[in-house]
Amino acid sequence: MNHNETLFLRAQKSIPGGVNSPVRAFKAVGGTPAFIHKAQGAYLWDADGQRYVDYIGSWGPMILGHGHPEVLAAVSQAMQQGLSFGAPTEREIELAEEIIKLVPSMDMVRLVNSGTEASMSAIRLARGFTGRNKIIKFEGCYHGHADSLLVKAGSGLATFGHATSAGVPQEVVQDTVVLEFNNVAQLQEAFAQFGTEVACVIMEPIAGNMNFVRASVPFMQAARELSQRAGALLIIDEVMTGFRVALGGAQSLYAQQIPGFAPDLTVLGKVIGGGMPLAAFGGPKHIMEQLAPLGPVYQAGTLSGNPVATACGLTTLRLIQEPGFHAALGQRTQSLMRGLHQAATQAGLPFSVDSEGGLFGFFLLPELPSNYSQVMQTKGALFNQLFHGLLQRGVYLAPALYEAGFVSAAHTQEDIEHTIAAATEVFAEMVAGL
């Protein structure tokens, strides 16, 4: 038995499934997860000393790569001054000001500890602000694991969703309506039926939790206009896309195509913490002032705005503002996608790719999917073969076909070429097995 196997057996005795977040267990792809010992730049090392090129980046936060010296210095300096105070600090203002500067749809921001907490709080705020209960979400979009969001679609528009987790009472999800992503007609129909009862529409602008599926421009425009007309709020969940697909997030890309586009509320996480627990939600002053202590919507947190986490996030946000940062990241990501696409196509495999900034998706499908059921047409066994073939060759992709991929500023052209060469070998094996 190698060290990973020994650790996985041991972990399963004291931690359910051996992991503290389900996707880490490799359940979708089978096999033993790599237990990570350390990371630097674009690489991870596991308990057996095997090195991997890391395309997960802690599921998004590590946009600068692991162990950036300036980030580590800021964290270490903050740490010396105290780990947590439970009282306000100047650095929280600096981080809030930085976020507001980069995302102009936000006048005010509240800092929290996780994306789950941020989405949950944004929904509470939307319900408190509008005085309405119903929320609309889309199949395949993930907004964390709050009760009201763990829902799959019912059989028709009028039927409300079903909980996707045990322990979530039907009463808690009865006000959550789940619709198909990129389906404008269905969204119109929903607003026509019960628009005046809707508190908010929440969506990922580029859905990164069903691999990589962009909201079409007409779909985004419809979500914006229909919610506005009905007096509902539009919440854009940029936990994954924020500061990663562009400095101003995905909303800045849609604003280039839809004149005057802005969400009411934005949810942020992942990159804003730079690898430490930190997330946020924000929007216009008149909505944000409904939050306690100013308004009636309660929201709080013992460790919110933690001084070490804010030092990490603030330094990360300052470093990614270097001119040309996202253009260079985008080019490197595109060269990876181009290389994989070419190698797969030459091998005769169906393959489609998309990327924006440092976020990518590829599918073992001839055309890019536009919703969850199309994503799920991927042959799981084929993806698993690709995943394990790459893992053996020192390339670490997300261990499930419905997850996006992440490139950091630390990935070099040699890392990309190594990945494409490894994939070329695996594609040949896959074709031989078909």
Ligand X SMILES: *Cc1c(COP(=O)(O)O)cnc(C)c1O
Does position 275 interact with ligand X (CB under 6 A)? The reply is no
Does position 114 interact with ligand X (CB under 6 A)? The reply is yes
Q: Which among 84-92, 110-118, 191-199, 340-348 is the span making contact with ligand X, rule CB under 6 A?
A: 110-118
Out of 239, 271, 287, 401, the residue judged to bind ligand X by CB under 6 A: 239
- The footprint of ligand X on this chain (CB under 6 A) covers a number of residues equal to 15
The CA–CA distances, whole Å, from 255 to 128, 170, 214 equal 27, 37, 14
Decide whether 208 or 274 has the Cβ nearer to ligand X. Answer: 208
Residues of this chain, 125-144, that bind ligand X according to CB under 6 A: 142-144
Does position 209 interact with ligand X (CB under 6 A)? The reply is yes
Minimum CB separation of residue 269 from ligand X in Å reads: 5
Which residue out of 46, 54, 175, 237 is catalytically annotated? 237
* Residue 152 bears catalytic tag: no
Minimum CB separation of residue 277 from ligand X in Å reads: 8
Decide whether 178 or 430 has the Cβ nearer to ligand X. Answer: 178
Decide whether 8 or 212 has the Cβ nearer to ligand X. Answer: 212
Does position 237 interact with ligand X (CB under 6 A)? The reply is yes
> What are the phi and psi torsion angles at 84 (to 5°)?
-165, 140
How far is 320 from 244, CA to CA, in rounded Å? Answer: 9
Which residue out of 142, 254, 396, 402 is catalytically annotated? 142
Number of C-alpha atoms within 13 angstroms, CB side, residue 72? 8
Q: Which among 76-84, 169-177, 211-219, 237-245 is the span making contact with ligand X, rule CB under 6 A?
A: 237-245
Decide whether 203 or 391 has the Cβ nearer to ligand X. Answer: 203
Does position 266 interact with ligand X (CB under 6 A)? The reply is no
Nearest position to ligand X, beta carbon: 115
Does position 311 interact with ligand X (CB under 6 A)? The reply is no
* Residue 254 bears catalytic tag: no
Decide whether 305 or 339 has the Cβ nearer to ligand X. Answer: 305
Out of 46, 54, 139, 204, the residue judged to bind ligand X by CB under 6 A: 204
Site string for ligand X, 36-75 (x = CB under 6 A): ----------------------------------------
Residue 254 in contact with residue 203, Cβ under 8 Å? Answer: no
Decide whether 239 or 312 has the Cβ nearer to ligand X. Answer: 239
Decide whether 115 or 283 has the Cβ nearer to ligand X. Answer: 115
Does position 405 interact with ligand X (CB under 6 A)? The reply is no
Catalytic residue positions, numbered: 142, 237, 270
| Contacting residues toward ligand X, per CB under 6 A | 114-116, 119, 142-144, 204, 208-209, 237, 239-240, 269, 279
